[in-house]
Structure 1
Amino acid sequence: MNKIFTALVFIGVPLSVVGTFMHWSSILLFIIYCITIIALASFMGRATESLAVVAGPRIGGLLNATFGNAVELIISIFALKEGLIGVVLASLTGSVLGNLLLVAGLSFFVGGLKYKRQSFNVFDARHNSGLLMFGVIVAFVIPEIFTKTMTKNDTLNFSVGISIILITLYLAALFFKLVTHRGVYLTDDKNESRNHEEEPEWGTRKALIILALATLAVAYVSENLVHTFESVGEAFGWSELFIGVVIVAIVGNAAEHATAIIMAYKNKMDIAVEIAVGSTLQVAMFVAPLLVLLSLMFPVAMPLVFTLPELITMVTAALLMITISNDGETNWFEGATLLAAYFIMGIGFYLL
């Protein structure tokens, strides 16, 4: 599989450059861009997996989530530049749904087919549950309620205030997990010791160089991908909402999708869960508010206000994930439940 992705990178990147300058068909370019980004994301996933072996599951999961979300952040910034506010908000929704339902669901399902019962750090799960309640339910639902009677300018000011609070709390959460309470909540997990015995695929320096180069390549391809959205949407009858929730979210989170499933198959559930849930928290509490603040530099600013379908699906996904993960154990049926919820919501967004 790695050889296939390597070939796709060395073919896809030159084709993306040539196709852009030669003005090929938007649909053809859309397909080339998506495949290239997914292939580049696999390199990012392998690099962060190598770093995770050295740094441990928590930091490894955080690195994977960060660089995985970097792809979506880059796509969203270029979409903001083009004034595609609906696509950006929809992609944030899709990222939350994709991580909590698709990534976690596939991880639990694939890992559960090999192991009847898989466990992960229950203290991390409960800590993340509280942050999910705040980051997804409180921070996204409250603005929708209050902004009903606000002017456009007040709505934007309110969104900026919420964004600053979210980023501050997210940084405090990282400080809590990685500094003040690092090692306080540990479980006797045999996977942890096995983690330290495993040899990384790439050394630290090589992994960091590959991460940097892949991120630069993704930035270039993503900018061109955004320009194809309108033409592709008209050709296939896709709404702006569906493109953001499903297409951009899946392409933007390809690195996390692949790595989390591989980690679950290897019974490294601490890393798999940290990728799925940690990435969601990063999107809700860092990426989304950061985009709100960055949008102030563009002609059209983005308030942190979602549509009703987006809000209801995100809240449902968060509550379902909290219910399933709070016991620190999982199996294939729980994974199937998450996947079923994702497909139901995906059909709904397609038909909207």
Structure 2
Amino acid sequence: MINKVFLIITIIGVPLSVIGHLLHFSPLVMFGVYCLTIIALASYMGRATESLAIVTGPRIGGLLNATFGNAVELIISIFSLKAGLVTIVLASLTGSVLGNLLLVGGLSFFVGGLKFKRQTFNVYDARHNSGLLVFSVMVAFVIPEVFSKGMSEQNAISLSIGTSIILIFLYLAALLFRLVTHRGVYTQEGQNVAHEEETAEWTTKRAFVILALATIAVAYISESLVETFKIVGESFGWSELFIGVIIVAIVGNAAEHISAVIMAYKNRMDVAVEIAIGSTLQVAMFVAPVLVLLSLLFQESMPLVFSYPELIAMFSAVFLTVIVSNDGDTNWFEGAMLLGAYVIIGIGFYLF
């Protein structure tokens, strides 16, 4: 049923987005159209990567899902940087960390826990991810903020560039570690038995074609979406911080939200956790650094410097996620705690 709804939204939304942009329809109306259309397109990206996950396995499948899910946000962020909306870009990165860990992770644990009293996933992967989360968010994001207070703007940019290069290098090294040099070394006994007979919805070729077409459509609509931010913010009284942390993050990560919850409902928790936490790591260690480096091409460079509310919110999300997931075991109540934390933080950013 939900797939038919997304199909209808896509069929109507894509041409309407093109026509509305060309004929300059009301920005408030088009903001809603753009958001719904991107979410519908993201559902196709999610279904395509779900098919690929069945063929490639949970680790690579989760990585593909996180990558194409983050591609939406990366595209929106590039157009935002081009428009000089640095605050929104930084806020959307914060929103991605919070959304992936608390909203996506929380919904996955909660929905999966309603069907299964106890769900398990690879505890070795959970501990590996915990270390990377602490490093990328609690170390690499905090240091530029603390040291930038006593620096010139140029030195703050230089520190951000150096930090970004190290983050990208370590992210690639982490992929090498998990997918090549230590692939299968930390496999949990019996973890893949339950899913051997599952068949993919689409063939590999069809899945890649749908991914490519959806990504192109999202790229076009994202540029139009960015142009509506200022007017929408002024009309509803939303700050750039709230737009970035909540609105852009939810729209940009819709594919991951949908896919992770579906995987959890099917008790494929290794994939669900890989999407939620793996996507966070990709945002913190790859997407954010890439945006810092790309911003050098635009009129206004973006330092890797977050506000204290953003840092404290991300720090809290990482700490809670590490505590909940480090044992490789979860249930609906732990999901409810993550969701509760997301709502509290969301209210704070709305009123800030």
TM-score (norm 2): 0.99
Q: For the Cα contact (< 8 Å) 1:137–1:315, is it kept in 2?
A: yes
Matches within 5 A, 1:1-352: 1-190=2-191, 192-352=192-352
Distance 1:266 1:243 in 2: 33
Cα distance, 1:4 vs structure 2: 1.1
Cα distance, 1:300 vs structure 2: 0.2
Q: For the Cα contact (< 8 Å) 1:56–1:195, is it kept in 2?
A: no
Q: Deviations over 1:254-303 (max 9, x none)?
A: 00000000100110000000000000000000000000000000000000
Distance 2:193 2:37 in 1: 36
Cα distance, 1:70 vs structure 2: 0.1
Distance 1:318 1:189 in 2: 28
Distance 2:44 2:91 in 1: 26
Cα distance, 1:189 vs structure 2: 3.3
Counterpart amino acid of residue 47 in structure 2:
R
Q: For the Cα contact (< 8 Å) 1:56–1:196, is it kept in 2?
A: no
Q: Deviations over 1:51-92 (max 9, x none)?
A: 000000000000000000000000000000000000000000
Cα distance, 1:193 vs structure 2: 2.8
Distance 2:124 2:117 in 1: 22
SS in 2 for 1:197: coil
Q: Aligned pair count?
A: 351
Counterpart amino acid of residue 45 in structure 1:
G
Distance 1:32 1:194 in 2: 40
Distance 2:202 2:189 in 1: 28
Between 1-10 and 205-214, report the one with greater CA deviation: 1-10
Cα distance, 1:188 vs structure 2: 2.3
Structure 2 gaps, min length 5? none
Q: For the Cα contact (< 8 Å) 1:26–1:231, is it kept in 2?
A: yes
TM-score (norm 1): 0.99
Cα distance, 1:197 vs structure 2: 1.6
Cα distance, 1:6 vs structure 2: 1.0
Q: For the Cα contact (< 8 Å) 1:139–1:162, is it kept in 2?
A: yes
Distance 1:286 1:302 in 2: 15
Distance 2:38 2:190 in 1: 35
Distance 1:189 1:231 in 2: 53
Counterpart amino acid of residue 218 in structure 2:
V
Distance 1:194 1:3 in 2: 29
Cα distance, 1:195 vs structure 2: 2.8
Cα distance, 1:309 vs structure 2: 0.1
Q: For the Cα contact (< 8 Å) 1:75–1:222, is it kept in 2?
A: yes
Distance 1:171 1:187 in 2: 24
Q: For the Cα contact (< 8 Å) 1:98–1:250, is it kept in 2?
A: yes
SS in 1 for 2:297: coil
Distance 1:18 1:147 in 2: 45
After the TM superposition, which parts of structure 1 deviate over 2 Å for at least 4 consecutive aligned residues? 193-196
Distance 1:293 1:123 in 2: 32
Q: For the Cα contact (< 8 Å) 1:79–1:85, is it kept in 2?
A: yes
Q: Deviations over 1:290-332 (max 9, x none)?
A: 0000000000000000000000000110010000000000000
Q: For the Cα contact (< 8 Å) 1:52–1:61, is it kept in 2?
A: yes
Q: Deviations over 1:223-245 (max 9, x none)?
A: 00000000000010000000000
Q: Deviations over 1:17-44 (max 9, x none)?
A: 0111111100000000000000000000
Counterpart amino acid of residue 234 in structure 1:
E
SS in 1 for 2:140: helix
SS in 1 for 2:188: coil
Counterpart amino acid of residue 317 in structure 2:
A
Distance 1:168 1:96 in 2: 20
Structure 1 gaps, min length 5? none
| Identity in percent | 71
Counterpart amino acid of residue 260 in structure 1:
A
Distance 2:80 2:145 in 1: 23
Cα distance, 1:187 vs structure 2: 1.1
Cα distance, 1:7 vs structure 2: 1.2
Distance 1:154 1:189 in 2: 51
